[in-house]
Structure 1
Amino acid sequence: MRNYGGLVHAVGGFARHSGGNFVVLFSFAASVLALAAGFAVDISQLYNAKSSLQGVVDAAVTSTARDLTTGATKEADANKAVQNFLVANGTAGILRPDQIVLDRLIVDRTANTVQADVHVDVALFFPVFGMGNTSRVTASTTSLYSDKTIEVAMMLDVTGSMAANWWAKTDKIGDLQAAASTAVENLLDNNIDPNNPRVRVAIVPYAEAVNTGGLVDSVFVEQAGGSNLPPPVPSAGAPIPVGSSVTLRPDKCATERKDKDGYADYSSDGPSELRRNNQNQQYLAKVNRDDRMGTCPKPELIPLTADKQKLLDTIADFKAAGVTAGGIAVQWGYYMLSPSWRSTIVSARLGTGPANFDNRKVGKVAILMTDGQFNTAFAGGRGAPRSQNAGQMSRSNAESICDNMKRDGIEIFTIGFDLDDPSMTATERDQAKSVLQDCSTADTSTLKHYYEAATGPELNEAFNAIVQNIERLTIAK
């Protein structure tokens, strides 16, 4: 207490005998406080300018990278695209129009990146410590773009359970037509040059079988009690026949392709591949039309194309009928993305066919949609128990083919539509969901591959999400 009292007494004495000095000290303190306040204002201003500048340049580069990916902007025009964005959006935060300067833009064709370096000169409210009237704030950002092409095969369920139901007030086939049409439009709207499309789409409608349309020459028509294999080709040196079968075709449908022992074939080989039967005779690897098949779907498959109207017309032609041969659907989706089928598609004058498997140059995507349990197959896989029923075979075949697709680098998205329909048993629902989850590519922390939709709007949302994910995949992989 004695020490504190002495300190108070000393301060009081200084105040009584040094009034002038106290005023000087107060003025000095006020000046320091003013400088500190001005410096704080400048720091805050520079921070806000930095934040605003970074946000604008991030958006400019991301937008330009997206336009480079879709083809809306050419590499030669990237500088102008970024500059225009900076001018149009340069009033963010405290920034003023035309204040942002683009110092450098680098489009790296090897790394597929766009990098922009920019700056603004910010006027200071209170220049201090020898600073000028302005201070330069810089920002830099880099974004990936992609020059890949995209191939998408959509395997769409047109079975009888998709039919409109007046009693339940549902129209699932109509919901599918609306959602699939929107997806096709969104995918193909990214094509800038119709003569050099970046995105192409294939449609594989399926029920008990797949209607091969213009690819009917790839089909071998079985006869009851006859062989499961096409006839042997002529001896070496003789021309290979172009017809698929001497049997009159009842329709253009196909089921599973069978190997020489009658098992389901999970490969994506083209139908012109030569194989050997158990008598060591060569035959063409055509796809079977099982003699037990009953109903052929009306809508035909469409190989990869950028013809939007052709795809939309096919979807509009969907009619719901038949049972669900999901393994056959997945098989034909695989064919539509496999370069092994290119020559067959070209020969049928149905386009240029799929590109080679090369993740650096092309993104291949399959979308499998169904509203129920896979319940139909005409051949089981080698090694499968003979006690398997048609549903078990169909699901097993689908999963095995999906494994091969993913091995080849095909990204698979799946959609279960109205799988909680009360007309399905719990076992049927579980089996339907299980095969779709197993077929889809594994989810990541940022990318979803398996979707469920209970209503038409939810189905549309699922397709829209997949379309957006396809664009993200194109850049990320």
Structure 2
Amino acid sequence: MRQFRGFVQAAGGFARDRDGNFAVVFGFAASVLALGVGFAVNVSQLYNAKSSLQGIVDAAVTSTARDLTTGDIEEADANKSVQAFLDANGAAGILRADQIILDKLTVDKTAKTVRADVHVDVAFYFPLFSMGDMQRVPASTTALYSDKTVEVAMMLDVTGSMKRSGKTDKIGDLQAAASDAVKDLLDQNRDPSNPRVRVAIVPYAEAVNTGGLAGTVFVETENGPKVPPPVDAAVAVSATSAPDKCATERKDKDGYADYSSDGPDTLRLDNKGKRYQAKVNRDYRMRVCPSAALVPLTSNEDKLLTAIDDFSAAGVTAGGIAAQWGYYMLSPAWRPAIADAGLGAGPANFDKKKVAKIAILMTDGQFNTAFARGRGTSRSQDAGQMSRSNAESICSNMKRDGIEIFTIGFDLNDPSMTATERDQAKSVLKNCSTTDTSSLKHYYEAATGTDLANAFDEITRNIETLTIKR
């Protein structure tokens, strides 16, 4: 016990002798801690400044690239545009107004790029010997501006399920959303004589009303051939009266659905080796022709809005036929037919560097109607299976040709649809659309008219993004 008491006394004495040493150690530790805190604050300050600066310069250069693309400014005005944006938006995060310095702006007319190099000088909250009182934070970004033209084909569902019912007015919602989209797209045109953006409208139900392109349609009879007569046949034999201007699928010589975008003047051989023109069929079983006719690519806003105003809901849903006619409206192979009909210059050639070709396919339900199935598909397919299969095959060809496809499912959770019908409708729209990227969405679902308008609005913004990429 005496030994333990002695140990305690010795320890106490040692502690009294070390009081001064602990104070020194504590002071040193506190200094190191303060330096660490100061360093961490400075690093955080630099990070926040860098982040804020990058966001501002990204927005400034992208905005300038957009204005160059749409023709709002000339290349010589790019410097002023970027500087004005930096001045107006310089105060962000921990940055102050007028703190951002534009070191250099480079407009590369060959590569069609705008590059800005900027910096800010950050005064530290905690000046440290190793870091000094201030440090320069640089940032740079590059954006593409484009002289691409833009062609948009909108395939819009005007089937019977779109009719107004009680307080629900789906056809009215579509008319409002599509009209706004047309206005937004054409608003990018600055020179009416040389429009950058043109839009085509394809209303569809059981068929497509071809309007001024009715001369491209071959009218079938129940017991007659499924392809037009040979080009050297007598006029009396070639002529078949048309009850309307509608068309269904184009069929090949054996009666299968044709997924190509060939023009109607393309010459083919029938089963007797005779040449015939690849016109589009009007199947004899077709019953309801949409009252609203398609409008080929145009920058005439009044013509497009009038066509949309003429929408009326009737008939069933032939989505494969819709995709087919959207394809035609973007295919240069149809340019002669469209020009000959006096309906405009027609589509430009497929060239990703010069032309952005966009298709928008919208429906409020399951594709349930077709008059021809694809070659090699099962004979047991019903009309719905044929329609969905035809649509997906045509969409695949469109994407192969460089057409970007956006799809919208409107009110697909309607309780009148079965779970299977709902799943099939969503599946075909997802399969038809271009694959989403981290920054670009292509498949949309819209539950209400407001959602539909928002979907079209986002798509029009995405179309612009496709021509201006960092």
TM over 0.5: yes
The more displaced of 85-94 and 297-306 is: 85-94
Secondary structure of 2:396's aligned partner: helix
CA shift for structure 1 position 475: 3.1
- Does structure 1 conserve the Cα–Cα contact (< 8 Å) formed by 2:231 and 2:276? yes
Gaps in structure 1 of 5+ consecutive residues? 16-21
CA shift for structure 1 position 337: 0.8
Secondary structure of 1:81's aligned partner: helix
CA shift for structure 1 position 451: 1.9
Structure 2 residue aligned with 1:352, among 318, 324, 345?
Answer: 345
CA–CA separation in structure 2 for the residues paired with 1:109 and 1:401: 37
The more displaced of 302-311 and 330-339 is: 302-311
After TM superposition, list the pairs within 5 Å mapping 1:270-349 onto structure 2: 270-349=263-342
After TM superposition, list the pairs within 5 Å mapping 1:371-410 onto structure 2: 371-410=364-403
CA shift for structure 1 position 138: 3.4
**Residue 230 in structure 1 maps to residue 223 in structure 2:** no
The root-mean-square deviation of aligned C-alpha atoms, in Å, is 3.6
Q: Which amino acid aligns with 2:463?
A: I
Equivalent residue for 1:216?
214
CA–CA separation in structure 2 for the residues paired with 1:438 and 1:33: 58
CA–CA separation in structure 2 for the residues paired with 1:337 and 1:75: 30
Equivalent residue for 2:435?
442
1:209/1:37 Cα in 2 relative to 1: closer, same or farther (>3 Å)?
closer
Gaps in structure 2 of 5+ consecutive residues? 1-6
User: How many percent of aligned residue pairs carry the same amino acid?
Assistant: 72
The more displaced of 436-445 and 298-307 is: 436-445
- Does structure 1 conserve the Cα–Cα contact (< 8 Å) formed by 2:65 and 2:468? no
- Does structure 2 conserve the Cα–Cα contact (< 8 Å) formed by 1:258 and 1:264? yes
Structure 2 residue aligned with 1:184, among 141, 164, 182?
Answer: 182
CA–CA separation in structure 2 for the residues paired with 1:208 and 1:228: 19
1:260/1:105 Cα in 2 relative to 1: closer, same or farther (>3 Å)?
same
Equivalent residue for 1:419?
412
1:448/1:53 Cα in 2 relative to 1: closer, same or farther (>3 Å)?
closer
Equivalent residue for 2:4?
none
CA–CA separation in structure 1 for the residues paired with 2:104 and 2:396: 46
- Does structure 2 conserve the Cα–Cα contact (< 8 Å) formed by 1:253 and 1:296? yes
CA–CA separation in structure 2 for the residues paired with 1:131 and 1:12: 33
**Residue 145 in structure 1 maps to residue 138 in structure 2:** no
Please identify runs of 4+ aligned residues in structure 1 that moved more than 4 A: 1-13, 31-52, 93-99, 120-137
Q: Which amino acid aligns with 2:229?
A: P
CA–CA separation in structure 2 for the residues paired with 1:250 and 1:370: 27
Q: TM-score, normalised on structure 1?
A: 0.84
CA shift for structure 1 position 272: 0.9
Structure 1 residue aligned with 2:241, among 226, 248, 268?
Answer: 248
Equivalent residue for 1:364?
357
CA–CA separation in structure 1 for the residues paired with 2:249 and 2:42: 73
* Count of residue pairs brought into register by the alignment: 459
The more displaced of 138-147 and 151-160 is: 138-147
1:335/1:104 Cα in 2 relative to 1: closer, same or farther (>3 Å)?
same
The more displaced of 185-194 and 277-286 is: 185-194
- Does structure 2 conserve the Cα–Cα contact (< 8 Å) formed by 1:218 and 1:244? no
Equivalent residue for 2:101?
101
**Residue 82 in structure 1 maps to residue 75 in structure 2:** no
Equivalent residue for 1:18?
none
Equivalent residue for 2:71?
71
- Does structure 1 conserve the Cα–Cα contact (< 8 Å) formed by 2:106 and 2:114? yes
Secondary structure of 1:164's aligned partner: coil
Equivalent residue for 2:460?
467
Secondary structure of 1:59's aligned partner: helix
CA–CA separation in structure 1 for the residues paired with 2:430 and 2:289: 28
